[in-house]
Structure 1
């Protein structure tokens, strides 16, 4: 496939598994490298307590890194965060679906990988926010910080000594930032 060939979300879903993960950005395929061990551990340290809290309080559903979300059409955008949360009401409205989730999650978390450029991370944040994600959590292993994006202009940076708060998106959920980087 050449770089000028555009594909749809349906075509991405039908692709044969070649061992790689892909995102679809404005119709173009982006090959995602497998996560390193630190990336995987940090993603798990964030996702596990989120999932436990969401399940215990019946708030909705938490999704792992392989889950694709169809954020836009024509050209299609399908992103797969390292973790995602969708409120119970939205899960019940959509029901069980095959394929990609139709729309944005309420929360999307991205763990920055060593090979990610600043522009790539900013593009992902913009795609999530533009599609309606209410909270984008960007976890930076190299600085041990967490950036909370509520909008392009409402951003909070948390350090290792802070506590992440789910706010209105995941009410009453907290997680010490330090615990993400254990």
Structure 2
């Protein structure tokens, strides 16, 4: 006897109580282990640096752990640890109360020790396929930041490197050591 799994839509998923550490992937709810201390501190530091840049430039919106609808039928809702959305992409009715109806311009994921390589690649692929301009995967254990872009390239920045000249973040400069 087989069991049919009913796929959820983004709208139904938004109504699920207690979905704080869950994402919707191709209509199925995926549970996540709550992040640890290092994860939280690195995410907060990067968000703070982006917010500081944005206060000077007023280019868009920086946030943390908000849901973005990346695909429909079946629906996928991902929640990056840190994100950026350019101001000109803001929906006409303002900041969404629910999930963002599109992919962020920048999605940042802090990679935890329990994340598998397949999970990391699936997240990168989902964001880029949905239109994200760059996905930054931050690896606290090895103190690396890897930038994935739609052209299929992955650029790795070590502790002594500086990330700059990001077209959609004009003037933003990130010395990688500032994250750790």
Is the 8 Å Cα contact of residues 86 and 106 (structure 1) preserved in structure 2? yes
* TM-score computed with the length of structure 2 as normaliser: 0.93
SS in 1 for 2:90: helix
Give, in whole Å, the separation in 2 of the partners of 1:3 and 1:160: 48
User: Per-residue displacement from partner, 1:28-79 (whole Å, max 9, x unpaired)?
Assistant: 00012111001001111111110111122110000112x0000111100000
Runs of at least 5 residues in structure 2 that lack an aligned partner in the other structure: none
In structure 2, the residue matched to 1:104 is 103
Residue aligned with 1:102, SS:
coil
CA apart distance, 1:143: 1.1
| 1:97 CA drift (Å) | 2.1
Residue 87 of structure 1 corresponds to: 86
User: Which secondary structure state, in structure 1, belongs to the residue aligned with residue 12 of structure 2?
Assistant: helix
How far apart are residue 17 of structure 1 and its match? Answer: 2.1
Alpha-carbon separation, structure 1, partners of 2:165 and 2:92: 22
Report the TM-score, using the length of structure 1 for normalisation: 0.92
- Counterpart position of 1:50: 50
- The alpha carbon displacement at 1:96 in A equals 2.8
Give the aligned partner of residue 60 of structure 1: 60
Per-residue displacement from partner, 1:106-162 (whole Å, max 9, x unpaired)?
Answer: 000000011100000000000000000001000011111100011252221000000
Q: 1: CA distance between counterparts of 2:168 and 2:33?
A: 30
- Match in the other structure for 1:170: 169
Query: RMSD between aligned alpha carbons?
Result: 1.6
The count of aligned residue pairs is 178
Asked if the contact 1:55–1:61 (Cα under 8 Å) also holds between the matched residues in 2, the reply is no
Report deviation, 1:95: 2.0
Q: Distance in 2 between matches of 1:164 and 1:3?
A: 47
1:26 aligns with 2:26: yes
Unaligned regions of 5+ residues in structure 1, if any? Answer: none
Q: Which residue number in structure 2 is paired with residue 8 of structure 1?
A: 9
Alignment of 1:129-168 (within 5 A): 129-151=128-150, 153-165=152-164, 167-168=166-167
* Alpha-carbon distance in 1 for matches of 2:21, 2:158: 30
